[in-house]
Structure 1
Amino acid sequence: MVIIVGNQKGGAGKSTLTLLLANYLTRSKDCKVTVLDMDYQQSISQKFEKAKILENAEPYEVLAYSLADFPEMEDTIKSSPKDIVLIDLPGKLDDDGLIRVFKAADIAVCPFSYDEFSFESTVPFALVLKKINPDVQVLFVPNRIKANVKYEIKTEVNEQLNQIGIVTAVIPDRIDFQRANTFQTPLAVHAAIVPVFSHIFQDYIEPHL
């Protein structure tokens, strides 16, 4: 199974969400996961290498690749459909290398926030993805949402995104999100993500494993 995490807007939380989902699937659901870090900053790969230096156990492998490398590994990915490949995508739409990745995806997790700039970046990403791969299940995740902020466009955004895919429950903002790494998720963060990730797992991942 291939799960891509993407949005063309920078700062949406793609890399952190990829890392947290990998931790959840391996630690809580005992899934075999490989993370392909295709983001330009490759922050997941950096955290993975740091964890290895500290001699922490590696619950999953993190591989740093570019979009151009994907065709070479596609057959290997397809040969193990019960394994989960999580791909952290670069924040852009203007690379033809995305086409093969989009076509291979079973699920797309698209983090966003309730502001106009995020919404205007999220919709084109999702529409292009669905045009290339009509069968992909798109899950829009409201990410790092502040509890004391009233988001005036929330209802309108949810209505429009639900026409393309499914808007999940929100992931609330936590100051210790950045403390997450490739071998552990802070307890407060874990509590914040479980309602969203358990729904994604039960409804969209587990039926295909």
Structure 2
Amino acid sequence: MGKIVSFATQKGGSGKSTLTLLLSTCLAVDYKLKIAVLDCDYQQSIVKTRIHMDAANLEQLRETDPEANYPYDIFPMAMTKIFDFIDNPENDKYDLVILDLPGRADGNEIFDALTACDVVFVPLVSDYLDRASTADFMGILHSIKSVADKEGIAFAYYGLSTKRTNRREDREMDEYIDEIGLSRLNSSLGLRAAYSRPSTLFSLLNPAYLRYAGGDKTVSEEIKTLCEEIIEKLELPVHQLTTAKNESAE
């Protein structure tokens, strides 16, 4: 089995499902990683994105390329089935398994799912309620890491700053994260319209889809930098960045 990660927090609206979509697609399309996403969120946002937004685009692609297919696998899954998936030898083919979990941390199922991860990335949104929620969630992750360290099991967690706008709130968040001692990624994502149009088929490093999503060079640079830092942190297989085909997404 490859690395198992989650973009997780206990507060809804932090962008964890959006992060999962954006990064899964770029890592699969542009970095050629074999990825499985386990959509364990009750809202099934990732499954719905594929069905309601990307299915028609895939059919359009197949008119000119019958072999066209989705770049990675998505599985709707109950949290109680996560370990069955991980323990199945047939799933050893994946470089990276990403768990999309509900935006809460008030039950044993969530706790158990987090223990399945090698790394948890915590989205950091710079407002007071998110800061307080992050502190609570940190306590859960710290307890998991304490047990993992005693058992000699690899487990780590990192903050990932999102929706940044260079406001005072961002500076206060930075100070707060330093104060509580949360390790975080150097990369971050701004508050950009293009991130509200994630796809399970088209990467934001694809110039045609980037234009469709209303993005610019800054968006592609942020995504590329974040993908490469995650690859380095997780020690994932390194593939040469490919140049996306100019496929339409209309």
Q: What's the CA shift string for 1:9-39, capped at 9, x where partnerless?
A: 1110000000111012111211100001111
TM-score, with normalisation over the residues of structure 2? 0.74
Query: Which residue type is aligned with residue 98 of structure 1?
Result: I
For structure 1, the 5+ residue unaligned runs are none
- The answer to whether the Cα contact below 8 Å between 1:77 and 1:85 also exists between their aligned partners in 2 is no
Q: What's the CA shift string for 1:121-163, capped at 9, x where partnerless?
A: 112213212312444221211111124x2224133223035x2
Question: Structure 1 residue 203 and structure 2 residue 203: aligned?
Answer: no
CA pair 190-85 structure 1, distance change in 2 beyond 3 A: same
Query: Which segments of structure 1 move beyond 6 Å, counting only runs of 4 or more?
Result: none
Counterpart of 1:139 in structure 2 is: 158
CA pair 160-185 structure 1, distance change in 2 beyond 3 A: farther
CA pair 190-208 structure 1, distance change in 2 beyond 3 A: closer
Question: Structure 1 residue 103 and structure 2 residue 115: aligned?
Answer: yes
Question: Structure 1 residue 155 and structure 2 residue 174: aligned?
Answer: yes
- The answer to whether the Cα contact below 8 Å between 2:187 and 2:222 also exists between their aligned partners in 1 is no
Question: Structure 1 residue 168 and structure 2 residue 186: aligned?
Answer: yes
Counterpart of 2:23 in structure 1 is: 21
Q: Which one of 73, 81, 89 corresponds to residue 69 of structure 1?
A: 81
Question: What is the total number of aligned residue pairs between the two structures?
Answer: 207
Counterpart of 1:88 in structure 2 is: 100
- The answer to whether the Cα contact below 8 Å between 1:139 and 1:168 also exists between their aligned partners in 2 is no
Counterpart of 2:35 in structure 1 is: 33
Counterpart of 1:124 in structure 2 is: 136
Query: Shift in Å at residue 43 of structure 1?
Result: 1.0
Query: Shift in Å at residue 192 of structure 1?
Result: 2.6
TM-score, with normalisation over the residues of structure 1? 0.87
Q: Distance in 2 between matches of 1:178 and 1:165?
A: 26
Q: Which one of 39, 47, 50 corresponds to residue 48 of structure 1?
A: 50
* Rg larger for: 2
Query: Shift in Å at residue 170 of structure 1?
Result: 2.0
Q: What's the CA shift string for 1:45-72, capped at 9, x where partnerless?
A: 1011232344252001111112122232
9-18 or 136-145, larger mean C-alpha shift = 136-145
128-137 or 168-177, larger mean C-alpha shift = 128-137
Query: Shift in Å at residue 78 of structure 1?
Result: 9.4
Q: Counterpart of 1:2 in 2: which secondary structure?
A: strand
Query: Which residue type is aligned with residue 128 of structure 2?
Result: E
Query: Which residue type is aligned with residue 160 of structure 2?
Result: V
Question: Structure 1 residue 183 and structure 2 residue 183: aligned?
Answer: no
- The answer to whether the Cα contact below 8 Å between 1:127 and 1:164 also exists between their aligned partners in 2 is no
For structure 2, the 5+ residue unaligned runs are 62-68, 149-153, 205-209, 240-250
Q: Distance in 1 between matches of 2:114 and 2:90?
A: 14
- The answer to whether the Cα contact below 8 Å between 2:121 and 2:157 also exists between their aligned partners in 1 is yes
CA pair 73-82 structure 1, distance change in 2 beyond 3 A: closer
Q: Percent identity?
A: 26
Q: Distance in 1 between matches of 2:235 and 2:127?
A: 29
Query: Which residue type is aligned with residue 21 of structure 2?
Result: L
Aligned Cα root-mean-square deviation (Å):
2.4
Q: Distance in 2 between matches of 1:157 and 1:122?
A: 10
- The answer to whether the Cα contact below 8 Å between 1:71 and 1:100 also exists between their aligned partners in 2 is no
40-49 or 50-59, larger mean C-alpha shift = 50-59
